[in-house]
Amino acid sequence: MPVNFVPSGAEMLRILPEIILVLAGTLIMIMEPLTRPANKHFLGKFALASLFAALWGSVVAHANPGPAFQNMLIVDGFDTFFRILVIVVGILTVLASFQYLKREQSDSGEYYALILFSLVGQCVMAGANELIMVFIGLEISSIATYVLTGYLRDDKRANEAAIKYFLLGSFATAFLLYGIAWIYGLTGSTNLTEIRSALMDLQTSPSVMLVGTAAALMLVGFAFKVSAAPFQVWTPDVYQGAPAPVAAFLSTGPKAAAFAIFVRVYATAFDSISARWEPLIWISALLTMVIGNFAALVQNNIKRLLAYSSIAHAGYLLVAMTAHSEIGIAAIMFYLAAYALMNVGAFAIVAHFSRRRERYLQVEDLAGLGWKQPVTAGLFAIFLLSLIGVPLTAGFFGKFYIFKAALEADLLWLTILGLLTSAVAAYYYLRILVVMYMHEAGEPASTLPPPGAGLKTALWASAVGTLILGIFPSLVLDFAGRSATLLK
Amino acid sequence: MDHILSIVLFTPLVGLLVLLFIPSSNARAVKLWANIASFAGFLVCLPLIFRFDRTKDFQFVEKADWIPSLGASYHLGIDGFSLLLVVLTALLGFLAILSSWNAIQIRLKEYYAYFLLLQVGMLGVFMALDFLLFFVFWELVLVPMYFIIGIWGGPRRVYAAIKFIIYTLIGSVLMLLGILMLYFEHYSQFQVLTFNIADLLQTDLSGTVQWWVFWAFFLGFAVKVPMWPFHTWLPDAHVEAPTAGSVILASVLLKMGTYGFLRFSLPLLPDAAKNPTIVNIMAVLSIIAIVYGALVSLMQKDWKKLVAYSSVSHLGFCTLGIFALNPAGIAGSILQQINHGISTGMLFLIVGVVYERRHTREISEYGGLLRIMPVFAIVFLITALSSMGMPPLNGFIGEITILQGVFQMSFNWAFWCVVGILLGAAYLIWLYQRTMLGEVPEKNTGLKDLSPREIAVFAPLLVWAFWIGLYPRPFFEVLERPVAQIVERVRPGYYAERNLRNPLASPSPAARISAPVPAGD
Amino acid sequence: MLEGYIPIFIFMAVALAFPIVALSLSKLLRPAAPSVTKLEAYECGIQASGGARGRYTVRFYIIAILFVIFDVEAVFLFPWAVRYRQLGWFGVAEVAVFLGILIVGYIWAYKKKALEWV
């Protein structure tokens, strides 16, 4: 075989963030049993440092774009955007976890190592140009998150959540793999660019039915990962059972990466058969928005409420996906960035507020927080207002770009229904604000200790980010817009 | 470039930022600073009045790139119509804060912070010449108002606050849809993405598009005005809000709706605005609001609810005037908006004065206050007369001008207007009789008359009420051009056909509203 | 395109038909004379006691998991061995990284006392 297997130095540079994350994760694993329990928090600091290094690594990789490893991975603006996004999510999660793990007396290196490994998978997903890489990235990311979900192993709910997530997740990936196999059988390739050209030829042949089925099978896998209806059922149980910082991570990092491959596969490889999958996503988008928003209305558990809200947000993202345009892709990218900041922030506050063993998770428990801890509550209010989509927060422009893209694609009805459900959504976020500011302070709010340094940093960073994206959206949107055009 | 509008807009914001650093334990400093900041906010808008040139359209224009990829810019400017509303906002914003000195005892810092933020949003709405910027300010107003009602309001405050925000949110998301439809229409014709209102005016819209965009805008604006049948949030919000909140809500926030109709619906969608079906629907809804609001006011036992429903009735006059689509109707409507800001603002302040003393708003709890609080009773008398449209007060001028405009359009409409005016006189006089005249109940004998601070709150509004009532000319002069712009846009050649002097053809060949505004103006 | 699948379809049809035909044939041909004795436990005649879901100590699972990991490790080495010459030093380096990561896992398991039976 004349193929030269040895990657060039440039190719190694293109996977620099992954290399850094793998090395750091492995190092943490080997240091973990060698560290005394009192010093375990150093492992967290080390993980944080390595995440910043990975951030630098993705900037270096971006300076040197192109394909790597026989076109299995591709480093372009799209890849860099999502790499940076998931690594930032990782940084915020790690910062928010210090105090939590200490409180639960579960500070250990494995937690951080698993986050790093999961991020490796997500970075691979962001740059995958190959269905096999898509699958491998997805599995690396998922397996680590299955373990993270059940990280508090004495907790019954966490165990239930982990098992549920694992079983349903494996099932969904099986569908995805089956779809990949069909595609390989039909086109003779797993490379997205080659599939794209093969499908263009297939346009006229009768096997387009088979291609449609394959695309639908893969859709099941992706829809599960982004918690789109009707494959969203696991989300509330898993987010509720998982430790709150892990829920913050799950609802943003893996979701963003899953959307990245979702977009890349469907907008690149399946571009020519969009007539087959657009109607499916149209229906899914509507269902997801309706189910997410209406189910969230009746939730009393904050984690469950945020879980349903995250389903609803996936619905908005699917609206942009249905638009199937570069503007829609840029809107998805911007929205995911905005959503990551506000949702990590919201979950981080829930993690802090819930106290040991997550006792205080009812909406009513937040009563009077606005007066007992004005700063924490104020930050929470910013995240919630952003989730509603009030102007001057990132959430507003996120929704604005998505519905703008949808209108541009003539999806008038989907836009109207989406806007109406998003107005309904205001109610359940406002309920939290009502309880925080308009009810008398109860015991949970009065006894809340102030947030630690790490959590504080994470909260302020997310809040400032939310506001900056809300006032000067061009900063991120222009990069997203440029990257979306590269995607072909 | 002149930055005066930015200064006016951001003075309250600077005040807010400084306020955040004042310790909340020092209640006096917080109050004092909030008053200083809002008074400064009023003072900085005074140069606008003196430097305003009524022979020009949009003035003090500022423009800077904001989101270039969307064609959205930070674009401010005011014409005569917005000038009046900006001054009204600045003045009432200050008076509302001044009136809260004793009324609000808890969580002062947050209270004043929300008021200053509200002020920024309201001023922004009236200044923005970019549709996206307008929408951002429009929505920004909701948040502080929601908290003001929900935290410092009455017993059913949470219900009222949520109702207020959900109604307006649903209205405004549909308005956003309309904005985007317009934006894309413009893009498909000019291949330029822009939210600049002057550019959007150039778009050639088909009747169907205008029809749908009009209804999308309608939902946003009608909820805000509020027009019947979207008014149900208003009584709840007013009754539960603290006095200053009600004042701002009635005097300024509701004007955002009518402002929207006049600034956007009419000029941008002239064919829809003069479509007979739409005009008739608007007129019928307005007349229902006028008569229904007045009848419900008559039946109220709660003083504040009475004033709230009277707002529905008065705003009905304003919307009816708008859809008379002639200079008198529109100018009258604008003037009546200002009048309503003054007189209803004062009526809410009056309810606040007695509520602060007695902690009840039941009309039957009062009586004979004329003897105990003579100054207060005189202020109330003037306010009531102003509100019911008695010469020589401001309400008369506004109502008579609207009536003149409406009469040109239809005798029937004018008839119902007169019915509404009579009913308005009835409920106000009856209210006055029940509260100020008659026997003094035992528990009211110890009530104190207005304090100097309270008189200071009422004085500027009373002066303004008399000013408009006795010498309205400067107001009409300022409004001449903006009104003519709207009328000429909706009914081109209106002035020429009737041999009227067209204010736009005045000696100074000022830029037309539809032409790009020259920079550095 | 679909013609290629015809043998598979035939095969599936035969596979489905076979058990149906066989079972129904025997049902038709055999004598049916049920009795209590026939339903008793088979052969030794002792009644079963206890549940079938007996519990094993968790250590068996840990050992089983570790076995699977290090067993699969060997499987991964085969393709490398087959392509050893083409891959050259790069292949050696790759396998070294692979084994290195596994050794880290081994050390971790060892230090966590996963290999001790107490």
Residue A36: predicted pLDDT: 85
Whole-model pTM? 0.88
C-chain residues within 8 Å CB-CB of A116?
none
A-chain residues within 8 Å CB-CB of C108?
29-30, 32-33
Which residues lie closer than 8 Å to A379 by C-beta, 6 or more apart? Answer: A345, A349, A459, A460, A462, A463
Query: Is there a contact between A420 and B170 if contact means CB atoms under 8 Å apart?
Result: yes
* Residue B178 maps to a domain: no
B467, B72 in Cβ contact below 8 A?
no
Percentage of chain B exceeding pLDDT 90? 32
Mind listing the pLDDT tens digit for each residue in B31-40? 899 999 999 9
Query: Is there a contact between A205 and C105 if contact means CB atoms under 8 Å apart?
Result: no
Residue B517: predicted pLDDT: 42
Work out the pLDDT band at B53, boundaries 50, 70, 90.
confident
Which residues lie closer than 8 Å to B186 by C-beta, 6 or more apart? Answer: B192, B194, B199, B200, B202, B203
Mind listing the pLDDT tens digit for each residue in B150-166? 888 888 888 888 888 88
- Largest pairwise CA distance in chain A: 75
- Averaged pLDDT for residues A88-100: 94
**Contacts with C, A 248-287, CB within 8 Å:** none
Burial code (b: 16+ CB inside 10 Å, e: under 16) for B110-138 equals bbbbbbbbbbbbbbbbbbbbbbbbbbbbb
**How many other CB atoms are there within 10 angstroms of residue A178's CB atom?**
15
Mind listing the pLDDT tens digit for each residue in A451-475? 889 999 999 999 999 999 999 998 8
pLDDT at residue A160 tops 80: yes
Across the interface, of B157, B166, B174, the residue whose CB is closest to A427 is: B166
Residue A166 touches partner B, C-beta closer than 8 Å: no
B324, B408 in Cβ contact below 8 A?
yes
B450, B379 in Cβ contact below 8 A?
yes
* Residue B74 maps to a domain: no
Question: For A19, which residue in chain C has the nearest alpha carbon?
Answer: C97
Mean pLDDT: which of B434-448, B456-470, C50-64 is highest? B456-470
pLDDT at residue B273 tops 70: yes
Residue A159: predicted pLDDT: 92
Question: For A400, which residue in chain B has the nearest alpha carbon?
Answer: B176
CB–CB contacts below 8 A, A to B: 75
- Averaged pLDDT for residues A44-73: 92
Residue B513: predicted pLDDT: 44
Query: Is there a contact between A427 and B140 if contact means CB atoms under 8 Å apart?
Result: no
pLDDT at residue C10 tops 70: yes
The whole domain housing B372 covers 276-495
Mind listing the pLDDT tens digit for each residue in B312-343? 999 999 999 999 888 899 999 999 999 999 99
Round to the nearest angstrom and report the end-to-end CA distance of chain B. Answer: 7
Query: Is there a contact between A430 and B173 if contact means CB atoms under 8 Å apart?
Result: no
Element (H, E) at B508: none
Work out the pLDDT band at A487, boundaries 50, 70, 90.
low
* Residue B54 maps to a domain: no
Lowest-confidence pick of B47-61, B100-114, B397-411, C34-48? C34-48
Rounded to 10 deg, the angle between the A208-225 and A244-264 helix axes is: 160
C64 - beta bridge partners?
Answer: none
A-chain residues within 8 Å CB-CB of C84?
none
Residue A34 touches partner C, C-beta closer than 8 Å: yes
Domain count, chain B: 1
| Continuous H helices in chain C | 6-29, 58-82, 84-111
Question: For C104, which residue in chain A has the nearest alpha carbon?
Answer: A30
Q: Is A164 left (phi over 0), alpha (psi -120 to 50) or beta?
A: alpha
Residue A441 touches partner B, C-beta closer than 8 Å: no
Residue A434 touches partner B, C-beta closer than 8 Å: yes
CA–CA dist B149, B245 (Å, integer): 7
CA–CA dist A406, A388 (Å, integer): 19
The CA-atom distances, in angstroms, between B405 and each of A295, A352, A403, C90 are: 51, 62, 41, 89
CA–CA dist B81, B77 (Å, integer): 11
CA of C23 vs chain A CAs: smallest distance (Å): 33
Mind listing the pLDDT tens digit for each residue in A192-249? 888 888 888 766 665 777 888 888 899 999 999 999 988 999 999 999 999 999 999 9
Query: Is there a contact between A30 and C107 if contact means CB atoms under 8 Å apart?
Result: yes
CA–CA dist A321, A327 (Å, integer): 10
Residue C45: predicted pLDDT: 62
* Residue B182 maps to a domain: no
3-state secondary structure of A301: strand
Question: For C2, which residue in chain A has the nearest alpha carbon?
Answer: A207
Residue B358: predicted pLDDT: 84
Mind listing the pLDDT tens digit for each residue in A102-156? 888 888 889 999 999 999 999 999 999 999 999 999 999 999 999 999 999 888 8
Residue A33: predicted pLDDT: 87
* Residue B442 maps to a domain: yes
Residue A391: predicted pLDDT: 87
Lowest-confidence pick of A50-64, A153-167, C26-40? C26-40
Chains near A with 3+ CB pairs less than 8 A apart are: B, C
* Residue B395 maps to a domain: yes
* Residue B125 maps to a domain: no
pLDDT at residue B512 tops 50: no
The CA-atom distances, in angstroms, between A104 and each of A96, A243, A354, A358 are: 13, 10, 11, 9
Residue A422 touches partner B, C-beta closer than 8 Å: yes
CA of C93 vs chain A CAs: smallest distance (Å): 11
Query: Is there a contact between A392 and B177 if contact means CB atoms under 8 Å apart?
Result: no
Distance of CA A113 to the CA centre of its chain: 18
Residue B520: predicted pLDDT: 40
Residue B366: predicted pLDDT: 84
| Continuous H helices in A324-373 | 326-353, 369-372
**How many other CB atoms are there within 10 angstroms of residue B272's CB atom?**
25
Residue B150 touches partner A, C-beta closer than 8 Å: yes
Across the interface, of B110, B150, B170, the residue whose CB is closest to A423 is: B170
CA–CA dist B449, B353 (Å, integer): 9
Residue B188: predicted pLDDT: 87
Query: Is there a contact between B139 and A404 if contact means CB atoms under 8 Å apart?
Result: no
Chains near B with 3+ CB pairs less than 8 A apart are: A
Residue B521: predicted pLDDT: 38
Which residues lie closer than 8 Å to B102 by C-beta, 6 or more apart? Answer: B356
Question: For C93, which residue in chain A has the nearest alpha carbon?
Answer: A6
CA of A356 vs chain C CAs: smallest distance (Å): 26
Residue B509: predicted pLDDT: 45
A-chain residues within 8 Å CB-CB of B140?
390-392
CA–CA dist C27, A194 (Å, integer): 55
Query: Is there a contact between A206 and C1 if contact means CB atoms under 8 Å apart?
Result: yes
Q: Which residue segments constitute the domains of chain C, with CATH numbers given?
A: 58-118 (1.20.58.1610)
The CA-atom distances, in angstroms, between A76 and each of A72, A86, A129, B70 are: 13, 16, 11, 24
Residue C1: predicted pLDDT: 59
| Selection from B47, B129, B100 nearest residue B517 by Cα | B129
CA–CA dist A246, A237 (Å, integer): 13
Mind listing the pLDDT tens digit for each residue in A394-428? 999 999 999 999 988 888 889 989 988 988 898 89
A-chain residues within 8 Å CB-CB of B154?
none
DSSP for B133-192, please give it: HHHHHHHHTHHHHHHHHHHHS-TTHHHHHHHHHHHHHHHHHHHHHHHHHHHHHHHHHHS-
- Averaged pLDDT for residues C4-16: 91
B-chain residues within 8 Å CB-CB of A415?
177
Residue B64 touches partner A, C-beta closer than 8 Å: no
Question: For A6, which residue in chain C has the nearest alpha carbon?
Answer: C90
Residue B506: predicted pLDDT: 56
* Residue B378 maps to a domain: yes
